[in-house]
């Protein structure tokens, strides 16, 4: 009897278990059909809200997965190199263009590595840090000489000319897009080489024409004298243009000799440049105001720095209205980042400051769309909208009764380009903008100044400005 009861109970239990499994299997199959959208969710009764939410979540996840895959595909196929680092500058990943450009390994490293270990570029490291600190997109352009990592036989590689765009990401991560500027640099070098060759070919015949014109200008009849003066003036203008092109070519060539650095008094050079332009300023009653120390010594190339001052003052004079003034300000400020440099043991300690030279005129200033291009070669804005010279004429042209000026007003679009090249060669920078209160052009030059310890650097706040010079 006991065996019969046990058998009946066991059969009943097995029957219930089988029924439960069959019910669960049926529900699972129905759920799969719902997820495959073969059965409308309303047939599931009370479980339809939950399954509807689950269905929408799955659809959203599938859309996000597809979008993420598309973005990763585009990132891998895009021509710009892309590199990403975390908050500790550990390399997280890159696309195929970055592997080719920076010669990064194809397979990921088994351990986290700094980006600086994989590609030694301190400019790239500074761009990443600047982007992380500012939490804003940053841009930097630099060149780097790559050498194959062979300690026995290092093999120099072609130089890389890069432009980087840094973008801040979450959790201190930074993504950097790198643009290979090699082709642009090569085209620029070819263009400059061609311009230099043409300038060399033009210099000799222009010199001959100028000599002939100078000889004939005093021998021709009065009725032809104005034409000879015009010919001489245009020849001088072309000669100046050729000389500017040759100067830019010499500054561009890396193989050219370096700057001849000597101790230069910048205030003395300012006075010399203005004395050269004094005939032009006197004719239009333009005053010269100087605000700064009576002496400013720095290590620089005297002739090149004089050319910078001459171009800046000539540009300001050309666009200054009559009965106005040109202001030159000179000041210095301490640069904490420069003073922290470590010096060799045998070198003398130095106090490093930054010199700021400002040239301000009272003209109409630059157009907003012209400001990014004022230092480009041969850039000329729309004549109908750009600021126009106030009648400062060139020497040697007919109709001049006053003493001819000693410098030809350059209008070929090379003066500020030469200024930028020379200042950059001195490890400085130059910017152009419009003065907020005067409205005229406002050009600022920043140059690093290093003087031996014990030699006092003039403090503008402790010196009285020189009296203004009235032309």
Q: Which CATH number fits domain 258-336+349-395+404-471: 3.30.565.10, 3.90.1150.10, 1.20.1260.10, 1.10.287.70?
A: 3.30.565.10
> By percentage, how much of the chain surpasses pLDDT 70?
73
Provide the Cα torsion 419, 422, 427, 431; round to 10°.
Answer: 10
> Residue 37 — φ and ψ, nearest 5°?
60, 30
DSSP 8-class letter at 347: S
Distances (CA, A) of 400 to 161, 280, 315, 396, 404: 50, 12, 21, 8, 7
The strand pairing partners of 308, in sequence order, are none
> Residue 296 — φ and ψ, nearest 5°?
-145, 105
Domain 78-180 has CATH 2.40.240.10: no
380 Cβ contact list (under 8 Å, min separation 6): 386, 413
> By percentage, how much of the chain surpasses pLDDT 90?
25
User: What is the topology classification, in CATH, of domain 183-257?
Assistant: Helix Hairpins (1.10.287)
Residue 148's pLDDT is what?
A: 57
CA distance 195 to 246: 9
| Band (433; pLDDT cuts 50, 70, 90) | very high
Say how many CA atoms lie within 13 Å of 459 toward its Cβ: 5
Regarding predicted confidence, which is higher, 378 or 45?
378
Residue-averaged pLDDT of the chain: 78
CA distance 83 to 11: 68
pLDDT digit string, tens, across residues 378-425: 776 665 555 556 554 433 333 343 333 333 344 556 888 889 989 988
Structure tokens at 23: 């019910």
CA distance 231 to 242: 16
Say how many CA atoms lie within 13 Å of 427 toward its Cβ: 13
CA distance 94 to 339: 36
350 pLDDT above the threshold of 80: no
Instruction: Say if residues 118 and 105 touch (Cβ distance below 8 Å).
Output: yes
339 pLDDT above the threshold of 50: no
Place of tokens 């895009």: 78
Structure tokens at 460: 């503008």
Residue 258's pLDDT is what?
A: 64
Instruction: Say if residues 225 and 214 touch (Cβ distance below 8 Å).
Output: no
Structure tokens at 85: 């680092």
> Residue 311 — φ and ψ, nearest 5°?
-65, -40
The DSSP bridge pattern shows strands 325-334 and 287-291 to be parallel
Tell whether the torsion through CA atoms of 311, 316, 319 and 325 is positive or negative. Answer: negative
CA distance 301 to 331: 20
Residue 333's pLDDT is what?
A: 83
Regarding predicted confidence, which is higher, 346 or 112?
112
86 pLDDT above the threshold of 80: yes
Q: If we measure between CA atoms, which residue out of 385, 392, 418, 416 comes closest to residue 319?
A: 392
Q: If we measure between CA atoms, which residue out of 274, 304, 314, 276 comes closest to residue 290?
A: 274
pLDDT digit string, tens, across residues 219-242: 888 888 888 888 888 888 888 888
CA distance 76 to 412: 45
CA distance 28 to 39: 13
| Band (266; pLDDT cuts 50, 70, 90) | very high
Say how many CA atoms lie within 13 Å of 398 toward its Cβ: 11
Q: If we measure between CA atoms, which residue out of 124, 112, 141 comes closest to residue 175?
A: 124
Distances (CA, A) of 471 to 268, 285, 357, 362: 18, 6, 21, 16
Instruction: Say if residues 329 and 358 touch (Cβ distance below 8 Å).
Output: yes
Instruction: Say if residues 91 and 112 touch (Cβ distance below 8 Å).
Output: yes
The structural domains of the chain, with segments of one domain joined by +, span 32-77, 78-180, 183-257, 258-336+349-395+404-471
Q: Give me the helix-helix angle, 222-252 and 182-216, nearest 10°.
A: 150
| Span 352-356, average pLDDT | 84
Of the listed ranges 270-274, 361-365, 449-453, the least confidently predicted one is: 449-453
Structure tokens at 427: 């490890």
């Amino acid at each position: 009897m006991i065996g019969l009861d046990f058998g009946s109970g066991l059969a009943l239990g097995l029957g219930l278990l089988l029924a439960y499994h069959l019910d669960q299997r049926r529900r699972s199959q129905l759920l799969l059909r719902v997820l495959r959208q073969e059965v409308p969710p309303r047939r599931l009764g009370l479980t339809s809200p939950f399954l509807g939410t689950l269905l929408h979540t799955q659809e959203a996840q599938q859309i996000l997965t597809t979008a993420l895959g598309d973005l990763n595909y585009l990132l891998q196929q895009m021509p710009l190199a892309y590199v990403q680092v975390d908050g500790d500058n550990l390399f997280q990943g890159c696309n195929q263009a970055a592997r080719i450009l920076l010669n990064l390994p194809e397979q990921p490293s088994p351990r986290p590595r700094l980006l600086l270990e994989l590609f030694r570029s301190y400019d790239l490291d500074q761009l990443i840090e600047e982007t992380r600190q500012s939490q804003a997109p940053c841009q930097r352009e630099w060149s780097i000489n790559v050498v194959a990592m062979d300690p026995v036989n290092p093999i120099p590689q072609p130089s890389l000319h890069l432009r980087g765009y840094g973008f801040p990401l979450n959790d201190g991560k930074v993504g950097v897009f790198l643009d290979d500027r090699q082709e642009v640099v090569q085209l620029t070098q070819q263009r400059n080489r061609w311009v230099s060759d043409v300038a060399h070919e033009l210099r000799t015949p222009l010199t001959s024409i100028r000599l002939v014109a100078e000889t004939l200008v005093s021998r021709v009849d009065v009725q032809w004298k104005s034409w000879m003066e015009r010919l001489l003036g245009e020849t001088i203008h072309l000669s100046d243009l050729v000389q500017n092109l040759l100067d830019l070519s010499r500054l561009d060539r890396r193989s050219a000799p370096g700057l001849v650095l000597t101790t230069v008094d910048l205030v003395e050079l300012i006075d010399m440049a203005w004395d050269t332009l004094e005939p032009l300023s006197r004719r239009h009653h333009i005053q010269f105001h100087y605000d700064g120390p009576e002496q400013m010594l720095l290590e620089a190339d005297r002739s090149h720095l004089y050319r910078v001052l001459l171009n800046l003052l000539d540009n300001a004079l050309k666009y200054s209205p009559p009965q106005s003034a040109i202001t030159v300000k000179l000041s210095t400020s301490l640069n904490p980042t420069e003073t922290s440099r470590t010096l060799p043991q045998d070198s003398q300690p130095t106090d490093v400051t930054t010199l700021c030279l400002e040239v301000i005129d009272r003209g109409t200033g630059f157009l907003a769309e012209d400001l990014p291009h004022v230092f480009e070669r041969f850039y000329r804005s729309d004549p109908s909208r750009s600021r126009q010279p106030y009648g400062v004429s060139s020497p040697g042209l007919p109709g001049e009764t006053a003493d001819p000026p000693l410098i030809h007003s350059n209008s070929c679009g090379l003066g500020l380009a030469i200024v930028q090249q020379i200042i950059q060669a001195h490890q400085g920078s130059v910017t152009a903008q419009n003065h907020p209160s005067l409205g005229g052009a406002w050009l600022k030059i920043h140059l690093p100044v290093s003087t031996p310890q014990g030699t006092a650097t003039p403090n503008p706040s402790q010196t009285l400005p020189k009296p203004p010079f009235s032309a």
